[in-house]
Structure 1
């Protein structure tokens, strides 16, 4: 007998158990035990559907198991089943995966379990991001950061905040991105395990100032960053930021292109910095005819 056929048999058993008030329901157990048994059958069905790679059917069975656990009074098992349902739905039905994660997160936050709530909130943000809903993704990442912060997990909170900064940059909300990069850098600069990342955060924040056409703030921030971390002053990131600021000040496209190429020859620019630098180049060339703004 195939896994899918077995799964359907467990579904039928579970559905019979949940028919309250009839003679068969009373014979098979009443009250919470009836729903616990039904949840067990739904879970068995879900796992068999997983073996058969019937992901939506598996998700639906886990979801029904969760509803039964809730009726039996087992909120923890209900939340776990919602998480399992989401894990199946995310194979294709992202919208239902998000619904299940929201239900699980609500339970975990009600119980004060902010660490696990943060984990699933982050997972939900990644799902939003995968379907291109950047607004919802950014909001979910921010909520995950707040949950981690509630657990005093600063490192985890910072990692998620950096995702908010990345999306903010994509949406050209540079003020928000700058705020986060400077906040994360400030909390990392005195930590031996995390201070290595500060030069990257400083560079990104400085480029965001320039991309928002605020060279004065970029210059002032560069001074602050050098004061915050002595080693930053001798880094290639600091030199690049300083050189780009000067190129912007001079409205010199050739100078800009040269310093960017020199940096890229040693350390390949990632997509974010490339996008920011193209934005900055466009600002330099907007009033300068004859220059192409299609590449660095």
Structure 2
């Protein structure tokens, strides 16, 4: 007998036990709770067999039913089953994956287990991001960041905040992105392990100033960043910013392009910076056409 056929047998037995537990006789003569636990065990066995057969939706549905049966006897087991369901649904039915993961997160937050809740909240954010729902992704990353911060996991909290900044810039919410990059940079200056990343945050923040058509703000921020970190002044990132700010001040697209090309020849620009720089260039070409 194949895995699917075995899974179907377990599924049928589980549904009968669950129905019996919730029936009038089950409630009258007791034993409803233990029958639900037995049903949950059968649903779990069915879910594992469906996983082996790579039938992800069926596996997710079986684990979800197990979670529903466990809820009265063991909320912990219920949460674990919801997570198993979510992992299976992620491979196809993302909407159901989100629903199951939210149910598990609710349990962990109710129990005060915020470190675990944060991990799953971050996973939820990643699902929304992959589906293109960037507003929901930002909200979930923010919740995860708050949970991590409450558990003194500052590195994980910063990672989530940086994701919000990245997405905010994609959505052209440049002021929010600047706020985060400056906050993370300031919080990294006194940490030897984090200092290396500060120049990257400064670079990204000023690119956001320029993309937001705030040249004066970008110039002031650059001077402020030099004062905050002495080594930043001699970095390639700082030189790039000085060059493109000068090009923007003169509204010189050629100098702007040359500065970027020189930097890119040594340190390849990632997709995010390329997109933001393109936005900056568009503000220059727009001014050129007006003139």
Report the TM-score, using the length of structure 1 for normalisation. Answer: 0.94
Map 1:280-291; keep pairs closer than 5 Å.
280-289=280-289
- CA separation in 2, counterparts of 1:242 and 1:182? 18
The answer to whether structure 1 residue 125 and structure 2 residue 125 are counterparts is: yes
Range moving further from structure 2, 225-234 or 157-166: 225-234
- CA separation in 1, counterparts of 2:224 and 2:59? 54
Map 1:94-243; keep pairs closer than 5 Å.
94-243=94-243
Equivalent residues, number: 289
1:7-54 Cα shifts (integer Å, max 9, x gaps): 11111111121123669958x981322111111111000000000111
Alpha carbon RMSD of aligned pairs, Å? Answer: 1.8
| Distance apart, 1:229 and its partner CA | 1.4
* CA gap 1:22/1:284 in 2 versus in 1, 3 angstroms: closer
* CA gap 1:25/1:216 in 2 versus in 1, 3 angstroms: same
Report what 1:262 is aligned to. 262
- CA separation in 1, counterparts of 2:92 and 2:48? 17
- CA separation in 2, counterparts of 1:178 and 1:201? 9
Query: Which structure features the higher share of helix residues?
Result: 2
* CA gap 1:263/1:32 in 2 versus in 1, 3 angstroms: same
Range moving further from structure 2, 82-91 or 240-249: 240-249
Report what 1:35 is aligned to. 36
1:121-147 Cα shifts (integer Å, max 9, x gaps): 111111111111111111111111111
The answer to whether structure 1 residue 63 and structure 2 residue 78 are counterparts is: no
Contact 1:125 1:141 in 2 (8 A): yes
- CA separation in 2, counterparts of 1:228 and 1:92? 48
* CA gap 1:234/1:21 in 2 versus in 1, 3 angstroms: closer
- CA separation in 2, counterparts of 1:13 and 1:65? 12
Contact 2:21 2:36 in 1 (8 A): no
- CA separation in 1, counterparts of 2:24 and 2:284? 80
Contact 2:86 2:96 in 1 (8 A): yes
Contact 2:251 2:287 in 1 (8 A): no
Report the secondary structure of 1:20's partner residue: helix
| Distance apart, 1:250 and its partner CA | 1.1
Report the secondary structure of 2:288's partner residue: coil
Report the secondary structure of 2:276's partner residue: helix
Contact 2:215 2:245 in 1 (8 A): yes
1:97-144 Cα shifts (integer Å, max 9, x gaps): 000011011111111111111111111111111111111111111111
- CA separation in 2, counterparts of 1:2 and 1:200? 54
1:42-88 Cα shifts (integer Å, max 9, x gaps): 1000000000111000000000100111022x111111110110000
1:257-284 Cα shifts (integer Å, max 9, x gaps): 1111100111111111111111111111
Report the TM-score, using the length of structure 2 for normalisation. Answer: 0.95
- CA separation in 2, counterparts of 1:150 and 1:39? 34
Report what 2:53 is aligned to. 52
Report what 1:87 is aligned to. 87
Contact 2:177 2:205 in 1 (8 A): yes
- CA separation in 2, counterparts of 1:237 and 1:280? 16
